[in-house]
């Protein structure tokens, strides 16, 4: 079984490395040559284009920023569709619009190639230790065929429905994460300005009902003023835009998502779009004129 991996950024690189560690034969490609070379140094073969990767692979995995990049890499000139083998399976693990996943899958199906949309949650740390949560849409037989591979990158892989269902699930995930970061930020700015050490607040409440994976992941970084990504705010803006578009297309108002989107837009105007999404706290800090940090 040979795997092709396209898109070796913050997430793709450690995911590809975990597949290498698991012993899969591997051909990789990123539009940025240095990223390809990093994974080639670990033992993968270098592909020269998405088409070239697809020509050599039984399973083609893509891990790209958004819908336009996935369409370009799969359907564009020199793309996967030009080289993919009929019996191969394409697994797009990027977070993209559900409609875009359905469009790409429909084009591949014309060549008898099955596709899964399989976005992930967990961020860089879980990509590194191979414990991502993977949410999948697409045909059951294709899911069964690649589940073992997915579980080399993730702690769980759950099929949520037909093609597009993976990304609908991811949009739900991203709404919950964004609103959770906003809630933690709002509460911690209040505690700080009330002169209570935010680290004590965190330690006191993390085991109670307010505790969350999001708070456990982001609070230590916020206390250290560490906003190095991780997950760039601009990517979360992309996900919230996809959530707003999808929700409005099917007639679902998402008022809180709209509000947090505007907080992130304000930080983007302030030049903070490359910060980790935990940097959302800075929006509340500006409103209140205080800074959440470790005391002493
Ligand atoms: P990234 O920007 O670090 O990586 C994307 C990679 O794709 C880059 O290396 C880029 O050079 C490459 N690329 C772009 N266009 C290409 C093309 N046409 N052909 C080949 N390579 C191309 O982004 P990331 O953080 O790794 O995120 C990837 C996806 O995973 C996004 O959809 C993101 O929303 C999602 N995601 C990210 C995180 C996270 O914490 N970073 C967590 C969960 C999901």
Total-model pTM: 0.95
Q: What fold characterizes domain 2-163?
A: Rossmann fold (3.40.50)
Task: Tell the CATH topology of 168-288.
Answer: 1.10.1040
Domains of the chain, residue spans: 2-163, 168-288
**Quick check: 268 pLDDT over 90?**
yes
| Residues 217-261 pLDDT 10s | 999 999 999 999 999 999 999 999 999 999 999 999 999 999 999
Catalytic machinery residues: 170
Mean confidence (pLDDT) of the chain: 97
- The predicted-structure confidence for 6-47, as pLDDT tens digits, reads as follows 999 999 999 999 999 999 999 999 999 999 999 999 999 999
CB 218 within 8 Å of CB 292: no
The pLDDT tens digits for 121-173 are 999 999 999 999 999 999 999 999 999 999 999 999 999 999 999 999 999 99
How far, in Å, from the CA of 94 to the mean position of ligand 1? 7
Taking Cα atoms as reference points, which of 25, 31, 29, 36 lies closest to residue 58?
25
**Common-topology check for domains 2-163 and 168-288:** no
Q: Which residues surround ligand 1 with Cβ inside 6 Å?
A: 6-12, 29-32, 35, 63-66, 69, 72-73, 94-95, 120-121, 123-124, 230-231, 235
Virtual torsion, Cα 98, 161, 127, 35, nearest 10 deg: -40
Mutation choice for ligand 1 from 63, 131, 242, CB with most ligand atoms inside 8 A: 63
Which band of pLDDT confidence, cut at 50, 70 and 90, is reported for residue 295? confident
Instruction: Look at residue 296 and tell me whether its pLDDT is greater than 80.
Output: no
Cα-to-centroid distance, 30 and ligand 1 (Å) = 10
Kindly write down the DSSP assignment for every residue of 52-75, as one continuous string: HHHHT-SEEEE--SSHHHHHHHHH
């Amino acid at each position: 079984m040979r795997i092709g991996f396209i898109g070796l950024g913050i997430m793709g690189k450690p995911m590809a490395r975990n597949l290498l560690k698991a012993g899969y034969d591997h051909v990789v490609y990123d539009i940025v040559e240095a990223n390809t070379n990093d994974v080639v140094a670990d033992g993968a073969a270098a592909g020269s284009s998405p088409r070239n990767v697809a020509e050599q692979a039984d399973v083609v995995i893509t891990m790209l920023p958004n819908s336009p990049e996935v369409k370009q890499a799969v359907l564009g000139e020199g793309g996967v569709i030009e080289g993919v083998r009929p019996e191969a399976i394409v697994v797009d693990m990027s977070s993209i619009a559900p409609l875009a996943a359905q469009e790409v899958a429909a084009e591949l199906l014309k060549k008898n190639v099955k596709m899964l949309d399989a976005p992930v949650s967990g961020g860089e740390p879980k990509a590194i230790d191979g414990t991502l949560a993977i949410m999948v849409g697409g045909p059951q037989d294709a899911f069964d065929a690649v589940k073992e591979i997915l579980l080399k990158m993730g702690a769980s892989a759950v099929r949520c429905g037909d093609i597009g269902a993976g990304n609908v699930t991811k949009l739900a995930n991203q709404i919950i994460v964004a609103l959770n970061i906003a809630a933690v930020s709002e509460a911690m700015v209040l505690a700080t300005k009330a002169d209570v050490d935010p680290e004590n607040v965190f330690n006191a409440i993390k085991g109670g009902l307010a505790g969350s994976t999001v708070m456990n992941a982001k609070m230590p970084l916020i206390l250290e003023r560490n906003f190095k990504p991780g997950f760039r705010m601009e990517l979360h803006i992309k996900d919230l835009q996809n959530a707003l578009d999808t929700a409005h297309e099917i007639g679902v108002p998402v008022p809180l998502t709209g509000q947090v989107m505007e907080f992130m837009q304000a930080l983007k105007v302030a030049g903070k779009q490359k910060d980790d999404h935990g940097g959302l706290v800075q929006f509340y800090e500006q409103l209140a004129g205080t800074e959440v940090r470790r005391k002493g």
